[in-house]
Amino acid sequence: MDIADLSALMGEDIAAGNYADIWVVLTDPGAAPLLGEARRLADSLGCYVHVVISDASLSARAVALGADKIHLAEVPGLFVQTQYPEFALFPISKNAQAAKAAQKLKAGLITDARNLSVDESTRALLGSHPVYGGEYFLDFALTSPAKFATLDPRLLPEPYADPSRRGEVVPNDFIAPEPRFRDLGPVEYTPQSWRPLTKAKVIVSVGSGVKDAEGLSLARQLAEKLGAEIGGDRSGVDFGWVDEAHLVGVTGQEVAPDLYIAVGIRGDTYHNAAIVGAKTVVAIYPNPEAPIFAAADYGVVANPKEFLPKLIAKLP
Amino acid sequence: MIILVFLRPVLDPSGFTVNRRAQKIFVNRPSYIINPADKNALEAALQMAGEADTVIAVALGEAQAEDILRQARALGAHRALWVNDDRLKQADAAVVTTVCQRVVEQLGEVDLALLGGEVVDADFAQIGPRLAQALAWPMILDAHRVEAGDGVVRAIAPRGAAFHSAEADLPAVITIARDSNKPRYARGLDVVKAYRAEDAVEVWSAADLGLSEADLRPVTERRGESFPSERELGKRLEGSADETASQLAEVIRKS
């Protein structure tokens, strides 16, 4: 891209050279691991780490964890977009702020980014974004003059604190604009639970492997004995054994019961991605190669119609 | 009131399998559906719309976009706009935002732009906030129970662990929470109509929207997919059927 293109893209007042350094938006102490990530990238690039905080008491810790320059601003995300960062890291809780700032600077943004690195020759920011709950990742390279990423601090290592590090507080006269929406205060509200399985403690889920009405009836008996809700994968819905509202899957509902029993479910991606929150997963399926066994804590290779009567008999 | 709903086509997740060992995605049935949260956004729009209001569904991309727009018409959207241009294949969030912005400007008098709060197969959840920035409109995020009238929009939105009531002046961008409503199903007859009627979907090109090469140039390069390491297999219960049944009964008791 030549400079003429760039200024057309960016507006005339912004030149590529103005973008510099790594900026971190630190909205709460829990996001501190972002500093370790920023320090790592800054050390490889040889640039400064700027940190924007709204709470001055975080300054000393931010410096110990790797910040070179500290900026205080009421709404850190809005301040960053006035500063031409070459790289900007936000915690994922501030995805929307990051997206707005990125749009303002015509920047690329990777949300919930993993494996961040910088291509040192092109200065592109490389990273991956998980889809379907992390079943796979989309790999991106950001080539805009400013590059943004949001990170989940819980997935980053605790950064190394060096109390002898030095940093400076850089004053600014930034005044955050008033928010554009009005908060009318708290309300009593519970989202309607039209997804009936999201709160269930025990779920028995059925798929094509239960074969027929007899198999289904056995699965129902099991559910009744355990006081479980009945769910199903796409095949279970297609056979009419459960309705669409009870579909366990990315397009249906994601579940997190204490016990999830997959009966005759092959374990396709859309299904397995929706049960990662379950504490214990049990799978009963005839084919030992089925992907459900990779998602299960306990697997039984058996035909459900033959196995379920034996299991039901053993239960109190 | 004109309510615009932006729909993103996603590959039907029940039609493909991710194989971590082969580091590949196997597509068995390449059919496209409306991104689940966008379906909630369409539902919110349809519930809000009165007699005098117009719900316009917008999608961009290839044939799959046209397909989900016909689904949207079958569900009750009054108009469907398909922005179709080959160069949109590589569109990133910034480009998509620019296209949406132009659609809103071209239509004029749009009061609300609704989008789903999450997108299952792309990094496109950022388009809601980006669009609010591009249009300089106020935004309410992850909204439930959206109501609009007299120049304002009101919704219930999460704030920390609680829900608050929030209000903004129209026009506004609202992203809709996945749990906020139960999307309706289309009636068979309406589906047939939406697929038969040639004029069910209006087609706009990049030129119709006055989009330049620079507007369509992405700043995000897609470099394919990567895969997490293989899951460790769970414990396989072995032995006769009776023995495994006893072992499993024990597991169930403890869980």
User: Does the residue A227 lie in any domain?
Assistant: yes
Q: What is the pLDDT of residue A1?
A: 41
| Distance, CA of B67 to CA of B8 (rounded, Å) | 11
Q: Do A110 and B123 touch (CB under 8 A)?
A: yes
Q: Do B252 and A132 touch (CB under 8 A)?
A: no
Does one domain contain both A259 and A143? no
Which of A8-17, A145-154, B65-74, B224-233 shows the lowest per-residue confidence on average (mean pLDDT)?
A8-17
Contact by Cβ (8 Å): B88, B99: yes
Neighbours of B51 (CB within 10 A): 4
pLDDT per residue as tens digits for the range A35-91:
999 999 999 999 999 999 999 999 999 999 999 999 999 999 999 999 999 999 999
| Distance, CA of B136 to CA of B142 (rounded, Å) | 19
Does one domain contain both A106 and A155? yes
Does one domain contain both A155 and A203? no
Does one domain contain both A40 and A149? yes
Does one domain contain both A164 and A208? no
Q: Do B17 and A269 touch (CB under 8 A)?
A: yes
Please count the residue pairs, one from chain A and one from chain B, whose beta carbons lie less than 8 angstroms apart. 247
pLDDT at A181 over 50: yes
Which of A249-253, A276-280, B46-50 shows the lowest per-residue confidence on average (mean pLDDT)?
A249-253
For testing contact with chain B, the best of A269, A285, A292 (most B CBs within 10 A): A269
User: Does the residue A96 lie in any domain?
Assistant: yes
Question: Which of B13, B18, B220 minimises the CB distance to A140?
Answer: B220
User: Does the residue A175 lie in any domain?
Assistant: no
User: Does the residue A283 lie in any domain?
Assistant: yes
pLDDT band at A3 (very low <50, low <70, confident <90, very high): very low
Measure CA of the first residue to CA of the last residue in chain A; give whole Å. Answer: 71
Average pLDDT for A163-183: 91
CATH number at residue A161: 3.40.50.620
Does one domain contain both A158 and A69? yes
B223 touches chain A (CB under 8 A): yes
Q: Do A191 and B180 touch (CB under 8 A)?
A: yes
Quote ipTM for the complex.
0.92
Does one domain contain both A165 and A204? no
Structural domain range at position A220: 197-314
Neighbours of B41 (CB within 10 A): 32
Give me the residues of B, 179-218, that contact A with CB < 8 A. 179-182, 185, 214, 217
CATH number at residue A263: 3.40.50.1220
Average pLDDT for B9-31: 86
Question: Which of B16, B244, B248 minimises the CB distance to A269?
Answer: B16
pLDDT at A11 over 50: no
pLDDT per residue as tens digits for the range A112-139:
999 999 998 999 999 999 998 788 999 9
Taking each helix axis from N to C terminus, what angle separates A213-226 and A304-314, rounded to the nearest 10 degrees?
30
Does one domain contain both A220 and A297? yes
Whole-number mean pLDDT of chain A? 90
Does one domain contain both A287 and A144? no
Looking at the structure of chain A, the number of domains it has is: 2
pLDDT band at B21 (very low <50, low <70, confident <90, very high): confident
Q: What residues contact residue A77 under an 8 Å CB cut-off, 6+ apart?
A: A25, A90, A94, A97, A98, A100, A101
pLDDT band at A17 (very low <50, low <70, confident <90, very high): low
Tell which residue, B208, B249, B126, has the closest CA to residue A100: B126
Phi and psi at B60, nearest 5°, equal -130, 155
Does one domain contain both A203 and A244? yes
Query: Of the candidates A154, A169, A184, which is a domain's last residue?
Result: A169
For residue B244, list chain A residues with Cβ-Cβ distance below 8 A.
300, 302, 307
Model-wide pTM > 0.90? no
Pairing of strands A229-232, B202-204: unpaired
pLDDT at A14 over 60: no
Does one domain contain both A141 and A215? no
